[in-house]
Structure 1
Amino acid sequence: RSFSLGMGLFLQIRTAPCKQGGCPAPADLKNANGSKICAQLYSDDNPYYAQCLGAACCSNKVSSLVVAPRCELGIWSRMGKEGYSHKFNGGVVYRLQEIKKGLLGDWDNSISAYYCK
């Protein structure tokens, strides 16, 4: 699924594994028609890194992500942009379980709201 987020940018939720099992380069995030995608979220990660996997991805199921250059992905732990928050700039996060959320938690399967600009 793709969601328009204004200014011609898109956030895409991956519903299938990446080509050849690897994450796309952040600069290569584009729709089939060539329009820019702000970020892609994936429902699975891989302990060997360099891979973004995933079946249908939705809130509280995101385990890895890719953010395009000059984009910023804001995430929240609760709906309505509430709770803990974190921002990602252009790049790849192969395992959200390595990104701390609060004192004891991590961001694996914890994203309930997001916005990309």
Structure 2
Amino acid sequence: MAVPVLVAVLAAVLAGAGAQCPAAADLRGVNGTRVCAELFTDDSPYYDKCCGGKSLVVECGADVPYVPWEWSGSVSSLVVGPRCQLTVWALPGKHGKMKTFGSGAVPRLQEVRRGLFGTWNNAIRGYYCKCN
């Protein structure tokens, strides 16, 4: 009996995960244009409080080998639009470890491994975003 209750509670928790993060399908620019991704400076131990702080909208086809200084090392969560891929690098000039994120929300980059000891939290120094 305890297992079905635990499964129901876990399903309810996961259904609310990323609640503050916008849905991938909801990513739209100011004028309604398609957006490849959106990057956020804040995350939280609580998934419903992730994707906060400042946000950086990434247009389709954006190729940024050097993230602007105010964003370098400060991205903690992200959302990638439908039929889009965001490739990120850990070092400026698109060097170092690389990771590609598909469509959907990643509310806590500290849960995404970068090598043996690191995570992608506050580690993005360059990116390329493409949409089909």
TM over 0.5: yes
4+ residue segments displaced more than 3 Å: none
Q: Equivalent residue for 2:112? A: 99
Report the 3-state secondary structure (helix = DSSP H, G, I; strand = E; otherwise coil) of the residue aligned with 1:86.
Answer: strand
Query: Which of residues 59, 72, 75 in structure 2 aligns to 1:62?
Result: 75
1:68-111 per-position Cα deviation (integer Å, ceiling 9, x unaligned): 01000000000111000000000000000000001000000000
Q: How many residues align?
A: 97
Q: Secondary structure at the match of 1:83?
A: strand
> Paired residue for 1:52?
51
- CA RMSD of superposed structures (Å): 1.4
AA at the equivalent of 1:68:
G
Unaligned runs of 5+ in 2: 1-18, 56-69
Indicate the structure (1 or 2) with the bigger Cα radius of gyration: 2
Q: Which is helix-richer, 1 or 2? A: 2
Structure 1 unaligned regions, length at least 5: 1-20
- Structure 1 CA distance for aligned equivalents of residues 71 and 51 of structure 2: 15
Where in structure 2 are the equivalents of 1:10-89 lying within 5 Å?
22-50=20-48, 51-55=50-54, 58-89=71-102
Partners of 1:55 and 1:30 in 2: CA distance: 16
Letter in 1 for 2:37: A
Aligned-residue identity in percent: 52
TM-score by length of 2: 0.70
- Counterpart code for 2:92: M
TM-score by length of 1: 0.78
